[in-house]
Amino acid sequence: MAGITFTSYIPLILVLVLFFLKVPVAISLIASSLVYFTFINTSMAPDLALQNMISGLNSFPVLAVPFFITAGVVMNYSGISTRLLKFADLVVGHLPGSLGHVNVLLSTLMGGISGSSNADAAMQCKILVPEMVKRGYSKEFSAAVTASSSLIPSIIPPGMVLLFYATVAKQSVGKLFMAGYIPGLMLCVAMMIVVAIEAKKSGYGKTRETRATFPEVVKGLCAAILALFMPLGLLMGLRFGMFTATEGGAMCVIYCIIVGAVFYKELKLCHIAPIMKESLISTAEVMFILIGANLFGYYLSWERIPYTLSQFLITTLQNKYVFLIVINIFLLIAGMFVEAAPMIIILVPLLLEPIKLLGIDPIHFGLIVVLNLQIGGLTPPFGSMMYIVCSVLKIPITKFVKANIPFYIAILIVLMICTFLPDVVMFIPNLLYG
């Protein structure tokens, strides 16, 4: 194989250009890779590359993707969100700025159900923000707390971005899921502190005059217990070896169907068709991206770009803490322009070797990558959660950014803790997996 030249990097440059031109992720990856295997690397038949592209999906962990997607879709039809909303209000409704606290807590509780920041942001804009505005909360603050708290579902299992990283990096899905709990709860606490401060400054009131009584809390907990049990059941099942993460996805689907149809009685036969349609479309989109990722990863490996980059980084950044600072800055900037999935596809294969040589755990690094890139969803110019809340609530992006500054600060503090105190992230994985 010839040494790395400028032509070796043409597909990498091309895919970045296509991303910026808003070409769909999967098409960008496949097109850039085919340019390489058709015109640059003529020693390999293109059909062999295409065969490798498809065969890469023949892995057991990939099966978790459609299962967790389907579970999330089923939950949307089961009435779980309303029960969790009522429970969250019981817990924090007596606090100043209570609806802001409910917003954060609901995102945390929904983390183990929706697994998607964009889905959470869209849902909260519909079911909670109108009530916040009605009760005197500014649209800017409502948008800020909704978008920022929607970061949490991607961190708390079974976050789809975590699953995506585990698939691309070939890491344990179970360990990565377990690593997300403490950072997710830290984000929840940090944002509730911000809400409390902003509520005191702006005079935001309560939804309840008095703290909920113990019988009221117990009643609300009983109503929501089946919804709350799913992430707990997933954790315990993984811990005691009852099922793998992939099998856990299938169990979540079955559990959601039983809860929605038998106990809550809100899941009907008429919902089967829309559930199947939404699940198939979402799964197809993700799988198409993974197919493109396999082919693009094949190109990177063929040109030894990850090895070359790792040698450069190890030579230049010999201290792992300096490396982590540089990577954090780079990921934060990259996340402002490109969504998490394509950045994971491009960067993770390049960085796995350097982090291993520097003694950084790939699971710990995965949380850093996901958290950084999800922060990009809150920032201009292309943040997806930012655009969702701004478009639904019809507020200028400039006002959103100004209102979100305290949340940016809180999130960055959590990011720094997770980056430089790896034991915080790895506590549960080490406890459960050794």
Angle, helices 422-433/397-420, rounded to nearest 10 degrees:
60
Asked if 126 and 133 count as a contact pair (C-beta separation under 8 A), the reply is no
**62 Cβ contact list (under 8 Å, min separation 6):** 167, 287, 290
DSSP string of 24-47, one letter each residue: -HHHHHHHHHHHIIIII-TTS-HH
CA-nearest of 393, 394, 375, 371 to 384 is 375
3-class SS shares of the chain: helix, strand, coil, % to 5:
80, 0, 20
pLDDT at 7: 82
Cβ atoms within 10 Å, residue 97: 27
Q: DSSP assignment, residue 280?
A: H
pLDDT at 70: 82
Q: What angle do CA 142, 76, 339 make, to 5 degrees?
A: 60
pLDDT at 48: 72
pLDDT at 1: 40
Place of tokens 């950072």: 183
pLDDT at 73: 79
Hey, what are 427's tokens? 């506590």
All residue ranges of the chain with pLDDT < 50 are 1-3
pLDDT tens profile 105-126: 888 877 655 556 777 777 777 7
Asked if 46 and 38 count as a contact pair (C-beta separation under 8 A), the reply is yes
C-alpha to C-alpha distance for 255 and 26, rounded to whole angstroms: 32
pLDDT at 53: 67
Asked if 404 and 378 count as a contact pair (C-beta separation under 8 A), the reply is yes
> How large is the C-alpha radius of gyration of the chain?
22
CA 169 to chain centre: 15
Helices (H), 77-116: 80-92, 98-114
SS3 assignment, position 387: helix
C-alpha to C-alpha distance for 19 and 34, rounded to whole angstroms: 16
pLDDT at 2: 42
Place of tokens 């295997």: 37
**HEC-encoded secondary structure of 338-368:** CCHHHHHHHHHHHHHHHHHHCCCCHHHHHHH
CA 26 to chain centre: 18
Asked if 428 and 179 count as a contact pair (C-beta separation under 8 A), the reply is yes
> Residue 408 region, left (φ>0) first, then alpha (ψ -120 to 50), else beta?
alpha
